[in-house]
């Protein structure tokens, strides 16, 4: 297959949601319960369960499922402002607007909204040759120049299921997908949609049930199969004022094409019933009553007490994890835990002189007890990471082919001694050039998990004679283009990334991804790691369409990454689904909402 001759378009990769920063705990998602003694927990649980039962929407029939969520979505649209908004609303929007290609287990799966997954093999993905203009730097120019060359362009055909019907009885057609594209060009439908627009030259109608995405010339990207636009009902929205679409009445109570439809919505609750026009049905589930409560311990006790059937929690606080284990052992509820795509890591700023010595970075890595973090902060449900590609992603490297950093404080001390960072005055703190070794660690406010992680890092490094001061910053401040992270004025930084279906990585690990004045402080390579062989490997991994070539390149890059350790991966967070023992068939997934297979749930 012909390779593209230009790489300037790679800058668009920086926009893609597969590489999103997780900006602390979303305040809309979780509110940590007040700490209390065991006796107080029992009393509080009883009162909470009674209170929830009193405010819960009435169960219409025995076939209803009662679900509890910790945050109420602002809307029920299939388009999400950001990843935090998606985590809040996806369990419901997937029932109203099933994803054309559902991201499940980091792999896109056909849900029946499309007739098939587009691929080169079935002919729905093709290359065409087009002529483009080049500017003086050899980059594609939108305006005519004297230099013309021929490049390849990807075309992706999407074949929509002709049997789909909106819940008002109107047939769904390709026009509805095209309408969503036209709307996205007029108003902001969220970061993921904006990323798609950045990839596309155009999105067009082929026939009544077929659309085509045409990527920008000379752009080769493995995300081509997801360049569709989830349908919105043109017949209902075309003549409506859409400036405030995301806050409209339709956004609150939309008409969808999925197995369920909104019967009513009130503050704190929503009731879904079956869509009579959906081709499949589950006779066991006739309706869904959903309540939103920000007290996560109340939700737990409501499941164990029987007033709720299912509750989904994102990264519960450690004290709640202890209570959950006790409930599960007592048979009061079942816990389905999955490793979240959100993973925490510690970045080293390689502009800091003392951190340029690889032995110092390795010493810090060996001094941090990540297994203890999993045990104490994640209740043992989480997983320590050795590389930046999480184990479920297709390009994850075998652990025996990576450099690993098990907890070994003695080795950490030995490495520091070799560098000459020693404690000369016996005060327990090592010195560098006669000055105490103290580094500043920046992280976000408002995340109990992240603050606890920072505190353990501080304590672990103190045990080997290294000083750490922790600075908590508002999320907006930490991720500001003018802030310490993008301007690279920090020593250490603790935050999280969100793993997507494709590892990507150009914006995080390439030399071009280092934020600096010349590139306008863009890119996400905050450590400033610029290593020629690794840069070449990540370029191949993110531009080739040959899977084996990409796999080999990702392996090489991960080997160099773990060898050089510019960033220390810590752990994946944990997502839990709490299930009353009377409900069967729930299968939690790291990337799909827990309701993805609700049509197969049963009640015993």
**What DSSP string describes 242-269?**
-TTGGGSHHHHS---SSSEEEEEEETTE
pTM value is 0.84
The two beta strands, 101-104 and 107-110, are antiparallel
- From 43-52, 203-212, 227-236, 516-525, the region with the lowest mean pLDDT: 43-52
pLDDT at 199 over 50: yes
pLDDT at 53 over 80: no
Q: What is the mean pLDDT of the chain?
A: 88
Cα gap 309→64, rounded to integer Å: 10
Whether the CB-CB separation of 362 and 565 falls below 8 Å is answered with yes
* Cα–Cα distance for residue pair 218/149, rounded to 1 Å: 11
- CA-nearest of 250, 253, 249 to 261 is 253
What does the alpha-carbon distance between residue 131 and residue 148 come to, in Å, rounded to a whole number? 7
Average confidence (pLDDT) over 372-390: 93
- Contact between 560 and 533 under an 8 Å Cβ cutoff? The reply is yes
CA–CA dist 363, 464 (Å, integer): 9
- Decide which of 234 and 502 is more confident: 234
Report residue 442's pLDDT band, with 50, 70 and 90 as the boundaries: very high
Nearest Cα residue to 569 out of 527, 516, 515: 527
Best CA proximity match to 88, nearest among 30, 146, 44: 30
- Write out the two tokens for 121: 């093999």
Cα 202 to Cα 204: distance, rounded to the nearest angstrom: 6
Helices and strands, number each (H, E), in the chain? 17, 23
Stronger pLDDT, 242 or 437, i.e. the higher one: 437
Cβ atoms < 10 Å from Cβ of 273: 17
Average pLDDT over residues 419-428: 95
Q: Among residues 259, 277, 79, 251, which one has the least CA distance to residue 171?
A: 277
Structure tokens belonging to residue 333: 């509820």
Scanning the structure block, which residue is given the tokens 């045409």? 214
Segment 474-484 mean pLDDT: 94
| pLDDT at res. 352 | 97
Cβ burial of 446 (10 Å; 0-12, 13-18, 19+) is middle
Q: Which percentage of the chain shows pLDDT scores above 90?
A: 75
Q: Which residue's structure tokens are 């370029």?
A: 539
Six-digit token pair at 269?
Answer: 């609750």
The 3-state DSSP class for residue 431 equals strand
Give the C-alpha separation, 22 to 498, whole Å.
Answer: 6
Listed residue (384, 401, 412, 444) closest to 569, CA to CA:
384
The helix/strand/coil state of 437 is coil
Q: Smallest Cα–Cα separation from 250: which of 321, 309, 179?
A: 179
Number of Cα atoms under 13 Å in the Cβ half of residue 131: 6
% of the chain exceeding 70 in pLDDT:
89
Which pLDDT score, from 0 to 100, does residue 24 have? 37
DSSP string, 497-527: EE--SS---HHHHSGGGS--GGGTS-SS-TT
* Dihedral sign computed on CA atoms, order 30, 34, 38, 41: negative
DSSP-derived 3-state class of residue 567: strand
Identify the pLDDT of residue 197.
94
Residue 544, token pair as written in the block: 């080739």
């Amino acid at each position: 297959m012909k390779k593209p001759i230009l790489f300037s378009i790679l800058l668009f990769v920086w926009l893609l949601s597969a590489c999103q920063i997780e900006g602390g705990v979303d305040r809309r998602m979780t509110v940590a319960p007040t700490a209390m003694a065991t006796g107080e927990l029992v009393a509080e649980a009883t009162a909470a369960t009674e209170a929830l039962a009193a405010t819960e929407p009435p169960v219409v029939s025995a076939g209803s499922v009662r679900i509890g969520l910790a945050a109420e979505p602002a809307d029920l649209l299939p388009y999400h402002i950001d990843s935090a908004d998606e985590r809040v609303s996806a369990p419901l929007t997937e029932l109203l607007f099933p994803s054309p290609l559902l991201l499940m287990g980091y792999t896109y799966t056909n849900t029946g909204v499309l007739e098939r997954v587009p691929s080169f093999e079935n002919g729905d993905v093709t290359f065409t040759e087009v002529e483009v203009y080049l500017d003086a730097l050899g980059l594609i120019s939108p305006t005519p120049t004297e230099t013309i060359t021929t490049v390849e362009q990807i075309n992706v055909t999407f074949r929509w299921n002709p049997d789909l019907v909106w819940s008002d009885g109107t047939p769904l057609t390709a026009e509805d997908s095209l309408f969503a594209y036209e709307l996205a060009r007029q108003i902001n439908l969220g970061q993921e949609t904006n990323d798609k627009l950045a990839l596309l030259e155009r999105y067009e109608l082929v026939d009544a049930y077929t659309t085509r995405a045409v990527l920008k010339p000379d752009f080769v990207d493995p995300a081509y199969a997801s360049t569709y636009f989830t349908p919105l009902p043109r017949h209902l929205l075309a003549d409506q004022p859409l400036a405030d679409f995301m806050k409209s009445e339709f956004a609150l109570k939309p008409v969808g094409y999925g197995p369920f439809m909104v019967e009513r919505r009130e503050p704190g609750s929503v009731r879904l019933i079956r869509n009579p026009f959906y081709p499949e049905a589950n006779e066991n589930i006739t309706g869904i009553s959903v309540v939103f409560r920000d007290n996560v311990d109340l939700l737990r006790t409501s499941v164990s007490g029987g007033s709720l059937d299912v509750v989904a929690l994102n990264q519960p606080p450690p004290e709640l994890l202890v209570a959950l284990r006790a409930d599960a052992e007592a048979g009061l509820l079942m816990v389905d835990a999955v490793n979240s795509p959100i993973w925490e890591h510690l970045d080293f700023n390689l502009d800091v002189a003392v951190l340029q010595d690889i032995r110092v970075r390795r010493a810090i890595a060996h001094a941090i007890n990540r297994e203890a973090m999993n045990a104490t902060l994640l209740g043992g449900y989480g997983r320590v990471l050795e590389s930046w590609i999480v184990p479920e992603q297709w390009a994850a490297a075998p652990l025996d082919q990576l450099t690993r950093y098990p907890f070994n404080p003695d080795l950490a001390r030995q490495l520091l001694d070799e560098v000459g960072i020693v404690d000369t005055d016996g005060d327990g703190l090592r010195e560098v050039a006669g000055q105490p070794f103290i580094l500043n660690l920046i992280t976000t406010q408002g995340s109990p998990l992240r603050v606890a992680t920072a505190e353990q890092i501080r304590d672990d490094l103190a045990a080997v004679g290294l000083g750490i001061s922790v600075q908590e910053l508002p999320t907006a401040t930490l991720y500001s283009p003018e802030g310490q992270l993008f301007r690279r004025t920090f020593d250490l930084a603790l935050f999280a990334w969100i793993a997507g279906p494709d590892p990507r990585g150009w914006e995080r690990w390439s030399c071009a991804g280092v934020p600096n004045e010349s590139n306008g402080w863009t890119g996400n390579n905050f450590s400033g790691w610029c290593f020629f062989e690794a840069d070449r490997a990540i370029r191949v991994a993110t531009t080739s369409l040959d899977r084996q070539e990409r796999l080999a390149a990702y392996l090489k890059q991960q080997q160099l990454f773990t060898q050089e350790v510019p960033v220390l991966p810590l752990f994946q967070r944990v997502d839990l689904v709490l299930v009353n023992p009377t409900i069967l068939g729930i299968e939690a997934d790291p990337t799909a909402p827990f309701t993805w297979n609700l049509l197969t749930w049963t009640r015993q």
